Amino acid sequence: MSELSRAVMERTFRQWKTQCLNKLDQSKKGSVDQHIEHVVSLLNSCEQYFTTSSCSGRVVLLDGPPESSDVQKQNCVWLLVSHQKCTADELVSGLAKAGRDAVLKFEPFVLHVQCRRLEDAQLVHSAAINSGFRNSGLTVGKSGKIITAVRSTHGLEVPLSHDGKLLVAPEYLHFLTQIANQKMEENLRRIHRFYQNLQSALTTEKLQTLQLPDPPSSQGCSQSPPDRLETEKDEENKASVYKRRRRRERHQADCCHGDESSGVQELDDCLDLLT
């Protein structure tokens, strides 16, 4: 990719981010859930990310049309919505208002993050998978938008009434409440792990992008090898001079003391081996 194309893409991404963060929250609640405020804030503080939608996880009791197996929320009455653990009394109270097909659902944490580059999306995706959100994935749109979806599969969906008639015993409602609350607890633990993994990955990435100090100049490094070579040459020259001196002494000994020539020769041979 050319530098011009990269600059255009980054400028476009900044425009998308500004537009998204400046518009009103269109969710039913109208604000970011308390349990994930720190996660959303962390991502939005990074220049390469911004969040487009999120939910920390919730227990929902919906009263919907009987003909739809996949409950369509826009055609349903919301009898109970809780982003915290709920009680069996809250569930019973909600069911008392049901006139059609009531369904209890636990919906786990979901987060959509638009990313500047594919490698940025992969970082978030890896943090999500390692935190237990194994239904997470990446999408790349025709306009170049790169979205990471953080999702998991530990949901819950149980029909409780049909045409306003309760189908289960009160004991089962208490049991379902316990199951939903256990899933909420696990959901919050995964959010905590995701935040920690995300922090760690972003810190590591930041450290890796820091520029290393310039290597020392070639002048400073080139002095050591020649110094070693010169030392070795000096030692060789000294050995050669010593050998020549010993040879002169041997020649003089041959002339004056013929008996010592063999000892000098043996010493010379040893010197030859050492050099």
**Per-residue confidence (pLDDT) for residue 75, from 0 to 100:** 75
Given this model, what pLDDT does residue 213 score?
58
Q: What digits encode the pLDDT tens for the residues 53-94?
A: 999 999 999 998 866 545 456 678 999 999 999 999 999 999
In this predicted structure, what is the pLDDT of residue 64? 87
Residue 78's beta-bridge partner residues? 62
Neighbours of 159 (CB within 10 A): 15
Number of structural domains (the chain) is 1
Distance CA(134)–CA(153), nearest Å, equals 7
Residue 48 and residue 117 in contact, taking contact as beta carbons nearer than 8 Å: yes
How much is the pLDDT for 256?
43
Determine the pLDDT at residue 17.
93
Report d(CA 150, CA 173) in Å as an integer: 30
Asked whether residue 203 carries a pLDDT value surpassing 50, the answer given is yes
| The pLDDT of residue 267 is above 60 | no
Residue 225 has pLDDT above 50, yes or no: no
Radius of gyration for the chain, computed over Cα atoms and rounded to the nearest angstrom: 39
**Alpha-carbon dihedral 145, 146, 152, 156, rounded to 10 degrees:** 10
Least confident of 35-39, 68-72, 263-267: 263-267
Task: Give the other-Cβ count within 10 Å of 43's Cβ.
Answer: 21
Residue span of the structural domain in which 266 resides: 3-271
Q: Nearest Cα to 61, choosing from 76, 46, 49, 51?
A: 76
Instruction: Measure the CA–CA gap between 264 and 270, rounded to whole angstroms.
Output: 10
- The pTM score is 0.71
pLDDT digits (tens, 9 = 90+) for 247-260: 655 544 444 444 44
CATH code of the domain containing 24 = 3.30.1960.10
Region 189-198: what's the mean pLDDT? 97
Per residue in 102-151, pLDDT (tens digit) is: 999 999 999 999 999 999 999 999 999 999 999 999 999 988 899 999 99
